[in-house]
């Protein structure tokens, strides 16, 4: 039997670590990589919520909107837009045909700011 409490802690702690890496990468001017880690952090915090709600292992998917739906949480339209925008950066690091144009430093900071608001809201709900 799977220990769901350990799964929640695993995903939550990984999310916190990846969020710190996202911020560090953005500070170094590595916008695309920083946003990839921002996506990863949000994916993990959402998976923590999915485990907590369903009492099952998190699915092996990466779409933030689908994961958000599985949490049962009522996300604002703004948070949903942020999750949708970040989905592009999940694929950007993996498949060259899906590579979006690199955001400017200002655009990346704005995306990270909105992502941080969603991340904090999700972390506070856990």
The pLDDT of residue 101 is 77
User: What average pLDDT score do residues 105-123 get?
Assistant: 96
Using an 8 Å Cβ cutoff, are 123 and 42 in contact?
no
Give me the residue label for tokens 């929640």.
8
Containing H/E element for 35?
helix 31-54
Half-sphere exposure of residue 126: CA atoms within 13 angstroms, side-chain side? 26
User: What average pLDDT score do residues 33-46 get?
Assistant: 96
Per-residue model confidence as pLDDT tens digits over 51-108: 999 999 999 999 999 999 999 999 999 999 999 999 988 865 567 776 777 889 999 9
Distance CA 30, CA 105 (A): 9
Q: What are the angstrom distances between the C-alpha of 107 and each of 3, 6, 12, 85, 111?
A: 40, 36, 27, 12, 6
Domains (range + CATH), the chain: 4-125 (1.20.120.330)
Per-residue model confidence as pLDDT tens digits over 7-39: 999 999 999 999 999 999 999 999 989 999 999
Identify which has the larger pLDDT, 2 or 117: 117
């Amino acid at each position: 039997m799977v220990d769901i409490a350990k799964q929640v802690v695993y995903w939550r702690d990984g999310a916190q670590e990846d969020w710190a890496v996202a911020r560090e990468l953005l500070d170094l001017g590595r916008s695309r990589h920083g946003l990839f880690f921002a996506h990863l952090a949000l994916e993990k915090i959402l998976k923590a919520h999915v485990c907590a709600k369903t009492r099952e292992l998190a699915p092996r998917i990466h779409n933030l909107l689908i994961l958000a739906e599985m949490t049962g949480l009522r996300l604002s339209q703004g948070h949903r837009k942020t999750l949708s925008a970040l989905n592009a950066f999940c694929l950007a690091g993996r498949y060259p045909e899906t590579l979006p144009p690199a955001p400017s430093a200002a655009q990346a900071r704005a995306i990270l700011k909105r992502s941080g608001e969603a991340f904090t809201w999700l972390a506070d709900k856990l």
